[in-house]
Structure 1
Amino acid sequence: MKLLYLLFGFITFFAKAQENFVQINGSTNVNKFQCINNKFKPEAGAYTFSDKNLPNIILKVTDFDCGNRMMTKDFQKILNADKYPDMIIRFINFIKTQKSIVAVVEVRMMNQSKRYNIEFDVENNRLVGRKNVKFSDFNITPPKKMGGMIVVKDDLNLIFSLATKI
């Protein structure tokens, strides 16, 4: 049985290493959740980053998968996927340093935009960045379920992993 878990973990890691994804991690007062969108890719096979060519990434909100049908449906409802089907990630500025890459990234969803400074690392021709954000950054009130017994926390961890040509 342990071998199956190890094999599943390796396959999951290998699959994530081969794809672009945006992952949103959050928690409630009861447990944690993880919603991933890996159904997007650049036209050229990898994203390019230069002064003249910074990517805009359009994510379909309905492409996020939280690993549980009910959680996925709730997540898409929170983001009002019917009215606002797209989440747009636009790179505004991109600066290479000796150790990493610092970018100004605009995240737009539900007619709300927020800019973040995000530090990215280059790992195996992938640009990987993490940023703590909040539902409230986008004027979203974290939901409550079961009459307030389950409360979604405002804090989220956003992870980007993009195949790149740098």
Structure 2
Amino acid sequence: MKLLYLLFGFMTLLANAQENFVKINGSTNVNKFQCVNNKFKNDGGVYTFSEKNLPNIVLKVADFDCGNRMMTKDFQKILNAEKYPNMTIKFINFIKNQDGFNALVEVKMMNQSKRYNIEFDIENNKLIGRKNVKFSDFNITPPKKMGGMIVVKDDLDLIFSLATKI
């Protein structure tokens, strides 16, 4: 019986270690927000990065959760989820350097594409990357609420975590 518990614990730990997510952190003049999509998976369980096999990740905008039903609905409305249901993250190149990895990544949403150079590190078999982006990069005007009393800032922090074997 103890072996069964150990096996279950190990499988749970392994499943948690391979969780993938994309977080978008932002702020308003009143507070901060975080919207997370962790409902995507690679068919093989982990992402591989080689010259011939770079990931192309398709995220459903409806799968982002901002921790608050109204905020999630507003976020999906800002990204026009009904007309543009997917956001795509495509790795164009991926290079190992002294400190970690550099990648050229194309982010596409609402029929707008923008390329970013992003530095990645490996932590617990996860490839972690972070990039500051803006709503305006994608021709999105940051929203205002309550007659302009609450203003969403243009700056966003995009964070990737991908289970990987490198």
Query: Do the structures match in fold with TM over 0.5?
Result: yes
Alignment map for 1:69-148 (pairs within 5 Å): 69-148=69-148
1:109-139 alpha-carbon deviations (Å, 9 max, x no partner): 0000000000000111110000000000000
1:33–1:15 distance in 2 versus 1, CA, 3 Å: farther
> What is the rounded CA distance, in whole Å, between the counterparts of 1:116 and 1:153 in structure 2?
20
Q: Which SS does the other structure have where 2:40 is aligned?
A: coil
Residue 101 of structure 1 aligns with an amino acid whose one-letter code is F
> What is the rounded CA distance, in whole Å, between the counterparts of 2:16 and 2:154 in structure 1?
26
Residue 97 of structure 2 aligns with an amino acid whose one-letter code is T
Taking only the aligned residue pairs, the percentage that are identical comes to: 83
1:53-90 alpha-carbon deviations (Å, 9 max, x no partner): 00000000000000000000000000000000000000
Unaligned runs of 5+ in 2: 1-13
Q: CA deviation at 1:16?
A: 6.6
Count of residues in correspondence between the two structures: 153
Q: Which SS does the other structure have where 1:159 is aligned?
A: strand
Residue 126 of structure 1 aligns with an amino acid whose one-letter code is K
> What is the rounded CA distance, in whole Å, between the counterparts of 1:158 and 1:15 in structure 2?
23
Q: CA deviation at 1:99?
A: 1.5
> What is the rounded CA distance, in whole Å, between the counterparts of 2:67 and 2:36 in structure 1?
9
Residue 93 of structure 2 aligns with an amino acid whose one-letter code is N
Aligned to 2:67: 67
1:1-38 alpha-carbon deviations (Å, 9 max, x no partner): xxxxxxxxxxxxx9975410000000000000000000
> What is the rounded CA distance, in whole Å, between the counterparts of 1:69 and 1:16 in structure 2?
25
Matched-pair contact (CA < 8 Å) for 2:135–2:155? yes
> What is the rounded CA distance, in whole Å, between the counterparts of 2:90 and 2:102 in structure 1?
14
Matched-pair contact (CA < 8 Å) for 2:106–2:115? yes
Q: CA RMSD in A?
A: 1.3
